[in-house]
């Protein structure tokens, strides 16, 4: 008993100071000495309770010190350029303001230039605390920091955009406090606190979604600075609780896409990445190994969100995907791999799916080449992604369940009306569309069918409700097809559009294109930066396409930048390969954006359906990562592609080498997909069949309308099979099998169900 007691004491005492350890051990030993009265023992136990509380407080203080040190170390990782610090010092006016900052314009479209003031102070503070900087512990620099902070608290600039006041300013001022520590005058710190505290859990921006974690994080850092440990504990619990599914509301959906607003527009790569996943991962790292550590279950769910949501909507998991960008597309960007810090931080707390995470690290560091192949449909967001090791492509849509595009808040994105109209971007490297946007024709977006109006409607007329619900995809995780019963909310235009994806090519079909418009209707195959000469097969001859813009007849294929476009039968197409000009200022209503003319060589390929088309159609095959010679050699056979149907009731394609047939039934119907094999669907829906030696090996079904609880499909052949979600009824006389398949329910409506035959 005595030995156990001592072990127990030591294990508890390890975490407390020497003096506390001594008192604690003494109190425990005295409490358990023989011949003590009950009253005496109770008094001793009360002492133990107090000491236990002190121990807990002591441990909490140590943990909070660790967390604070990690945060400050993070802030101090910034590389300091002494010349930049000198420039900032020279630009500070006597009153503490900075030259070249417009402090007067607080409008939403101005971009809050005042925020540069507080970020400058943080940079200067980091220089003051950086031993390698010549400004380390510089008294003149410290005086300027104090002068700049005095100017700010005196004026308290409040922007028209809530984000400026609840995130930008509190972030910078809070970081300034943490970096400078106790070296700032107490009165200045006191005056700055109300401005920092605008980041609080009752703030308008602290609604559930990414901003809630960001605001909670700002508040938590400030509580650490103030030493308010009790409130810090509450805020950490709030942050941990934000990692959860919120399908149908703001937040992470069950398909691992992210909706920042109730419009259900895809925000996975913006708010769902930096302000949700990375903000959560940042705090999981700060509190790792302390009593505040997040649960393993939560961190593992974050890993799932990274791998199955964010990284599957990034080119090879490395580069930004323009398909999921919204109004941010109006900003000039750089092309570079994303960082690895977010992954390294979660790996501190879990080894869940470690191999996959480490593969992304290697890819982002250039130490590995892409190897992953997958197909994924984000059914909550109407976004389809298809990747092979040598190409990455997407289809973005909308429906009655999701609005089409983000509102151009604060100015950017004012030309994005049609960017969800069946947009089909294709990337081999990831930079194919890099900064093309100032010269872009926003009514010839890759993959879309659009009325060619003289000009786009105004920015207030961008976001629209979808008009059709038959929008979705069928996929088994490796292959897939997409359907879009498209009705434009902007123009009197409708079309049946579908895409069929295989290993080395994909097929694009459109039919039932109708428009009551006096303007032409165009379907664009691609509009992309021109990176090579353009070649084509016309009238049976391979030839260059001279620069310019023209209509071309009797074209079998076009080749540009290692991408081939094959037409099953020679067609008339329009092709432009020339210099286009524009300005960044023309695509945003933000202020202070450059109006300097920008020029880029652009390749655009499209079908002109003419004015008021009635039932127009198109069909083409896209072949990524192919040489001209390879394209020419395989074009005559159309690369084993058979377009089985392209009608307003059924669109279907078979890849004979793979034995895969994909079908989109707009209404109940049947089709012979190969000799002696017929497929009949008793309702609208999508199906994918894999055939091996004339027998069905896999069947995948989906309901784009999200209205059915089960689907009935009949396939030639006898298949006696049964599973958890399906059963079969065979008809020996007709040599056919009826599959009765239960579909996913609730938050999984729209997800595919795949069956493998025994």
Task: Write the CATH number for 351.
Answer: 1.50.10.100
Residues 471 and 618 in one domain: yes
Q: Decide if 557 is inside a domain.
A: yes
Residues 518 and 627 in one domain: yes
How many C-beta atoms surround the C-beta of residue 735 within 10 A? 12
Give 80's DSSP letter.
Answer: P
Residues 443 and 358 in one domain: no
Cα–Cα dist 211/275, whole Å: 6
Cα–Cα dist 437/415, whole Å: 10
Residues 627 and 709 in one domain: yes
Do 523 and 609 contact (CB within 8 A), yes or no? yes
| Cα angle 320-268-700, degrees, rounded to a multiple of 5 | 100
DSSP H helical ranges for 566-694 = 628-635
Q: 608: closest CA among 728, 487, 523, 494?
A: 523
What is the distance of C-alpha 703 from the center of its chain? 25
* Domain end marker among 72, 90, 105: 72
Report the pLDDT value the prediction gives residue 6, as an integer from 0 to 100.
Answer: 33
Cα–Cα dist 681/510, whole Å: 21
Tokens of 598: 């920008």
Report the pLDDT value the prediction gives residue 192, as an integer from 0 to 100.
Answer: 97
* Sheet containing 710-716, strands listed edge to edge, beginning at the edge strand earlier in sequence: 669-674, 677-681, 710-716, 736-742, 726-731, 722-723
* Domain end marker among 352, 372, 392: 372
Report the pLDDT value the prediction gives residue 209, as an integer from 0 to 100.
Answer: 76
372 sits in the region (left: phi over 0; alpha: psi -120 to 50; else beta) called beta
User: The whole model's pTM is what?
Assistant: 0.92
147-180 in b/e form (b: 16+ CB < 10 A) is bbbbbbbeeebebebebbbbbbbbbbbbbbbbbb
* DSSP reduced 3-state for 15: coil
Q: 120: closest CA among 153, 143, 87?
A: 87
Q: Decide if 103 is inside a domain.
A: no
Beta bridge partners of 578: 602
* DSSP letter string, 360-397: HHHHHTTSS-----EEEEETTTTEEEEEETTEEEEEE-
Q: What domain range includes position 670?
A: 438-756
Q: Decide if 107 is inside a domain.
A: no
What is the distance of C-alpha 334 from the center of its chain? 17
| Averaged pLDDT in 10-residue chunks for the chain of 758 residues | 38 43 50 57 61 66 94 97 98 97 95 97 98 98 98 97 97 98 95 97 89 96 93 96 96 98 96 96 98 97 98 98 96 96 98 98 98 98 98 98 96 97 98 98 98 97 98 98 98 98 98 97 98 98 98 98 98 98 97 96 98 98 98 96 98 98 98 97 98 96 98 97 95 97 98 95
Residues 520 and 667 in one domain: yes
Report the pLDDT value the prediction gives residue 11, as an integer from 0 to 100.
Answer: 41
Tell me the HSE value of 408 on the side-chain side, using a 13 A CA sphere. 22
Q: Give the CA distances from residue 755 to residues 587, 680, 725, in Å, rounded to whole numbers and listed in that order.
A: 47, 17, 9
Give 79's DSSP letter.
Answer: P
Report the pLDDT value the prediction gives residue 58, as an integer from 0 to 100.
Answer: 79
Q: Decide if 216 is inside a domain.
A: no
Do 211 and 219 contact (CB within 8 A), yes or no? no
Residues 365 and 481 in one domain: no
Q: Decide if 388 is inside a domain.
A: no
Report the pLDDT value the prediction gives residue 49, as an integer from 0 to 100.
Answer: 64
Strands 383-388 and 391-396: antiparallel
What is the distance of C-alpha 303 from the center of its chain? 14
Tokens of 93: 């006016």
Q: Decide if 480 is inside a domain.
A: yes
413 sits in the region (left: phi over 0; alpha: psi -120 to 50; else beta) called left
* Sheet containing 695-702, strands listed edge to edge, beginning at the edge strand earlier in sequence: 641-646, 650-655, 660-665, 685-692, 695-702, 753-756
Tell me whether residue 187 is exposed, middle or buried, using C-beta atoms within 10 angstroms of its C-beta: 0 to 12, 13 to 18, 19 or more. exposed
Q: 315: closest CA among 416, 209, 486, 430?
A: 430
What is the distance of C-alpha 105 from the center of its chain? 32
Residues 609 and 690 in one domain: yes
Q: Decide if 606 is inside a domain.
A: yes
Do 654 and 671 contact (CB within 8 A), yes or no? no
Residues 344 and 455 in one domain: no
What is the distance of C-alpha 677 from the center of its chain? 41
Task: Write the CATH number for 699.
Answer: 2.70.98.10
Q: Decide if 451 is inside a domain.
A: yes
Residues 354 and 443 in one domain: no
Cα–Cα dist 211/188, whole Å: 28
Q: State phi, psi for 154 to the nearest 5 degrees.
A: -70, -40
Residues 464 and 315 in one domain: no
**Which residue matches tokens 């942050």?**
239
Residues 366 and 456 in one domain: no
Cα–Cα dist 592/110, whole Å: 7
Cα–Cα dist 555/685, whole Å: 34
677-710 in b/e form (b: 16+ CB < 10 A) is bbbbbbbbbbbbbbbeeeebebbbbbbbbbebeb
Residues 363 and 258 in one domain: yes
* Helix, strand, coil content of the chain in percent (nearest 5): 35, 30, 40
Report the pLDDT value the prediction gives residue 33, as an integer from 0 to 100.
Answer: 55
Number of domains in the chain: 3
* Domain end marker among 13, 37, 72: 72
């Amino acid at each position: 008993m005595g030995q156990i007691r001592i072990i127990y004491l030591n294990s508890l005492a390890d975490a407390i100071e020497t003096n506390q350890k001594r008192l604690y051990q003494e109190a425990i030993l005295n409490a358990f000495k023989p011949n003590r009265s009950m009253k005496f023992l109770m008094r001793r136990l009360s002492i133990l309770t107090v000491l236990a509380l002190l121990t807990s407080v002591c441990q909490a203080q140590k943990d909070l010190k660790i967390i604070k040190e990690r945060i400050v170390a993070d802030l101090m990782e910034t590389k300091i350029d002494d010349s930049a610090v000198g420039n900032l010092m020279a630009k500070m006016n006597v009153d503490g303001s900075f030259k070249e900052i417009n402090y007067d314009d607080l409008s939403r479209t101005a971009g809050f230039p005042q925020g540069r003031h507080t970020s400058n102070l943080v940079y200067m503070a980091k220089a003051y605390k950086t031993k390698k900087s010549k400004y380390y512990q510089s008294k003149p620099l410290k005086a300027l920091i104090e002068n700049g902070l005095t100017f700010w608290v005196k004026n308290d600039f409040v922007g028209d955009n809530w984000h400026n006041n609840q995130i930008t300013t509190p972030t910078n001022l809070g970081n300034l406090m943490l970096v400078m520590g106790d070296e700032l005058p107490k009165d200045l710190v006191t005056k700055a606190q109300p401005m920092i505290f605008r980041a609080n859990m009752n703030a308008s921006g602290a609604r559930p979604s990414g901003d809630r974690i960001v605001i909670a994080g700002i508040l938590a850092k400030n509580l650490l600075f103030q030493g308010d440990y009790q409130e810090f504990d509450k805020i950490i619990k709030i942050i941990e609780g934000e990692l959860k599914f919120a399908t149908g509301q703001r937040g992470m959906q069950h398909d691992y896409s992210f909706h920042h607003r109730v419009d259900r527009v895809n925000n996975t790569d913006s708010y769902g990445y930096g302000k949700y996943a990375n903000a959560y991962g940042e705090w999981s790292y700060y509190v790792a190994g302390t009593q505040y550590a997040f649960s393993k279950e939560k961190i593992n769910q974050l890993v799932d969100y990274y791998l199955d949501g964010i990284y599957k909507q990034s080119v090879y998991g490395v580069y930004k995907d323009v398909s999921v960008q919204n109004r941010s597309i109006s900003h000039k960007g750089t092309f570079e791999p994303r960082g690895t810090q977010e992954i390294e931080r979660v790996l501190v707390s879990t080894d869940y799916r470690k191999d996959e995470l480490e593969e992304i690290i290697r890819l982002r560091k250039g130490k590995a080449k892409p190897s992953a192949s997958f197909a994924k449909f984000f059914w909550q967001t109407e976004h389809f992604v298809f990747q092979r090791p040598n190409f990455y492509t997407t289809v973005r849509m909308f429906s009655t369940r999701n609005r089409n595009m983000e509102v151009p808040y604060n100015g950017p994105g004012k030309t994005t009306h049609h960017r969800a109209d069946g947009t089909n971007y294709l990337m081999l490297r990831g930079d194919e569309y890099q900064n093309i946007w100032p010269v872009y024709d926003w009514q010839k977006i890759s993959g879309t069918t659009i009325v060619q109006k003289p000009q786009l409607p105004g920015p207030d007329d961008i976001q629209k409700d979808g008009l059709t619900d038959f929008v979705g995809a069928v996929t088994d995780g490796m292959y897939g097809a997409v359907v879009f019963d498209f009705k434009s909310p902007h123009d009197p235009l409708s079309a049946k559009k579908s895409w069929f994806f295989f290993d080395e090519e994909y097929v694009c079909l459109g039919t039932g294109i109708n428009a009551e418009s006096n303007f032409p209707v165009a379907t664009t195959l691609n509009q992309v930066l021109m990176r090579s000469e353009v070649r084509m097969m016309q009238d049976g001859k391979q030839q260059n396409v001279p620069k310019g813009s023209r209509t071309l007849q009797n074209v079998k294929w076009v080749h540009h930048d290692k991408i081939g476009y094959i037409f099953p039968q020679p067609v008339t197409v329009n092709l432009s390969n020339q210099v286009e000009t524009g300005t960044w200022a023309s695509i945003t209503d933000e202020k202070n954006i450059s109006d300097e003319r920008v020029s880029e060589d652009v390749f655009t390929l499209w079908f002109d359906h003419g004015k008021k088309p009635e039932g127009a159609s198109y069909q083409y095959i896209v072949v990524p990562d192919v040489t001209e010679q390879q394209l020419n050699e395989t074009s005559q056979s159309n690369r084993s592609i058979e377009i089985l149907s392209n009608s307003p009731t059924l669109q279907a394609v078979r890849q004979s080498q793979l034995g895969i047939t994909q079908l989109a039934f707009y209404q109940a119907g049947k089709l012979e997909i190969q000799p002696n094999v017929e497929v009949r669907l008793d309702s609208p829906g999508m199906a994918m069949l894999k055939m091996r030696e004339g027998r069905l090996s896999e069947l995948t079904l989906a309901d784009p309308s999200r209205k059915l609880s089960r689907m009935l499909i009949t396939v030639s052949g006898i298949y006696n099979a049964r599973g958890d979600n399906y059963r079969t009824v065979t008809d020996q006389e007709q040599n056919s099998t009826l599959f009765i398949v239960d579909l996913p329910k609730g938050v999984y409506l729209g997800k595919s169900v795949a069956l493998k035959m025994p």
